[in-house]
Structure formats: structure tokens, C-alpha cells
Structure 1
Amino acid sequence: MTPFYMLIKCHLGKAYEVANAIADREIASEIYSIAGDHDLLVKFYVEADTDIGHFVNENVHTVDGIRDTKTIPTFKAF
């Protein structure tokens, strides 16, 4: 499994709705509310041969209330 993270910026007042929608889809291993430029930090795991861009486009960007995202791929855990 390959982990990656996403920073998600939500429309005003929608962070909890977005977090719950992602949780309901059962696609994330961890979802955190955060302070700063983004509202949520989400950790995902996908199969090693999964196209992360395709996964994000089909499973995350379709959630209502998301304004912007930043995908952070990971390479090696130490």
C-alpha cells in the first residue's frame, strides 16, 4: 500500500461536512481538522499500482464543499 496526504481547503462553514463525507466514503485512514491555509489534513492508502491523480479526481474532488486541494505523495518511510 502507498500512503499519500492531502491538504483540503473547504468553502466557509463546510469543513465538518467535507470531513464527514470523506469518512462516509471509507477511503481515508485518518482525517484531521487543522488551522492555517487549509482546513483538513487527510491520509489515504492506495494499492501500489493505483494512479493517485485518478483516485483523487474520482473519490475526493467529487465531494461537495471542497474549494481547493494539495496532494502530497510519499516515497519512503523511515
Structure 2
Amino acid sequence: MQCVFVQIQCKPGQAYKVADAIALKEVHSELYSTSGQYDLLLKIYVPKDQDIGHYLSDTIFSVEGIERTLTTMTFTAF
């Protein structure tokens, strides 16, 4: 599994709806509301046999109300 963090900026007034829609998909490890430029922080484990971009597009980025995302991939520490 590949651990990926996704910061999500929602359209105004849509953060709760976006968070609920993501939670209903039950594909995430953790989901937080955040302050600052982005509204939500998502931690998700992508199966090794899946293309990360396609997986995120199919499961998360298609949620109505998302305006912008920033994806951070993780790697094994030294």
C-alpha cells in the first residue's frame, strides 16, 4: 500500500458535504477538517496494484464540491 495525503479545497459552503461524501466511500484512513488554504486533509492508502492518479480520480476527485487538491506522496524514511 502507498500512503498518500490529499489536501482538499472545497467550494464555499461545501466542506461538510464533501467530507460526508468521502466518508461514505470508506476508502480513507483518516479525514480531518483543517484551517488555512485547504479545508480537509485526507490520508489514504492506495493499493500497490493501482495507479495512484487513476485511483484518486475515481474515488476522491469525482466528489461534488471539490474545487482544488494538493496530493503529497510518501516514501520510506532513511
Measured against the shorter chain, the TM-score band is over 0.9
Partner of 2:52: 52
Cα 1:4–1:63, aligned 2, differ >3 Å: closer, same or farther? same
Q: How many residues align?
A: 78
Partner of 1:72: 72
Q: 5+ residue gaps in structure 1?
A: none
The whole-number CA distance in structure 2 between the counterparts of 1:7 and 1:31 is 10
* Aligned-residue identity in percent: 47
The whole-number CA distance in structure 2 between the counterparts of 1:44 and 1:77 is 18
Q: TM-score, normalised by structure 1?
A: 0.93
SS at match of 2:61: coil
Q: 5+ residue gaps in structure 2?
A: none
Q: Deviations 1:4-53 (Å, cap 9, x if unpaired)? A: 00000000111011011000001111000000000000000111232110
Runs of 4 or more above 4 Å deviation: none
Partner of 1:35: 35
Q: TM-score, normalised by structure 2?
A: 0.93
Kindly report the root-mean-square deviation, in angstroms, between the aligned alpha carbons of the 2 structures.
1.2
| Counterpart residue identity of residue 8, structure 2 | I
